[in-house]
Amino acid sequence: MKLIKLENAEAEMKIALPISVPFTDVILVEAGTVLSEPTTLTLKSMGITEVTVYEEHELREMLRQAEENADPSKKVRKVLVVDDEKEICNYMSEVLNGAGFKPIAALSAAEAWNKLASDPSINDMFLDIMMPETNGLEFLSKVRNELGRNVNVVIITAKKTMEEVVVAKKLGIIDYIMKPFTPERILKPFQAVRPESKNQQTGAAGN
């Protein structure tokens, strides 16, 4: 936890300690409240200038514990869709959402890394090979070597040659799909893999 000035508050920061009226049992703001703009303005109007917030690693641990304690029957399985083409992300997200998954789109490897690193409940990912700045294979290697947990990865490719797919298989993908693809082909890989199953870091065979 850390004490910050309200003027330095950033989006998604959460109150770590409840804020109460001095010398009373009245709670003005509950712990866990997000410091949104309305909340910040309300606190400032009360003369409050500093608040205690959770640090990022504390929020990640809280999310991890919440996921572990959640009722398995009520969990919504998250799938990260990584593709620099917004239309592809939107199409795949629509298909996944319709099948009961919770899609999370990322238009670059950098954005995808931030989402994976900050949300330990994301264990499934569609990953496009051809992307600017960092291509899919480079990003997959980073995920395997630096993330610290296994992720079920399905490669998206528009190429007819298999060289990159072979490399991806060595990095532990569970499947690959070729553009253009049907809704059925999008859903097949993760319908066949149960949420609790863990792909191997290396050497997992694709279909």
Cis ω on the peptide bond leading into residue 103 (within 30° of 0)? no
Confidence of residue 74 (pLDDT cuts 50, 70, 90): low
Which residue shows structure tokens 């959402």? 97
**Domain containing residue 36:** 2-54
Do the domain assignments include residue 66?
no
Are residues 101 and 186 located together in one domain of the fold? yes
Alpha helices in 70-135 (DSSP H): 86-98, 109-118
pLDDT of residue 195: 55
> Which residue in this structure is represented by tokens 């609790």?
196
For residues 114-133, average pLDDT: 92
Whether residue 140 sits in one domain with residue 94 = yes
List strand residue ranges (DSSP E) for 46-178, in order. 50-53, 78-82, 102-106, 124-128, 152-157, 175-178
175/189 Cα distance (integer angstroms): 6
In which band, very low, low, confident or very high, does the pLDDT at 200 lie, cut at 50, 70 and 90?
A: very low
pLDDT at 207: 34
Residue the block writes with tokens 């400032």: 44
> Which pLDDT does position 94 carry in this prediction?
95
* Predicted pLDDT at 165: 81
The proportion of the chain whose per-residue pLDDT surpasses 70, expressed as a percent, equals 86
- In the predicted model, is pLDDT for residue 85 greater than 90? yes
Structural tokens at position 123? 């264990």
Q: State the Cα angle at 42 between 37 and 44, rounded to 5°.
A: 95
CA distance 117 to 178: 27
Percent of the chain, pLDDT > 90? 36
**What H or E segment, with its residue span, contains residue 4?**
strand 2-5
Based on the fold, state whether residues 29 and 89 are members of the same structural domain: no
pTM: 0.60
Backbone angles phi, psi at 189, to 5 degrees: -60, -45
Q: Tell me, what's the pLDDT at 71?
A: 56
pLDDT score of 111 more than 80: yes
pLDDT value at 30 more than 60: yes
Query: Locate tokens 């899919």: which residue?
Result: 136
Specify the CATH number for the domain of residue 20: 3.90.105
Average pLDDT over residues 47-66: 80
Does residue 121 share a domain with residue 85? Answer: yes
In a domain, residue 205? The reply is: no
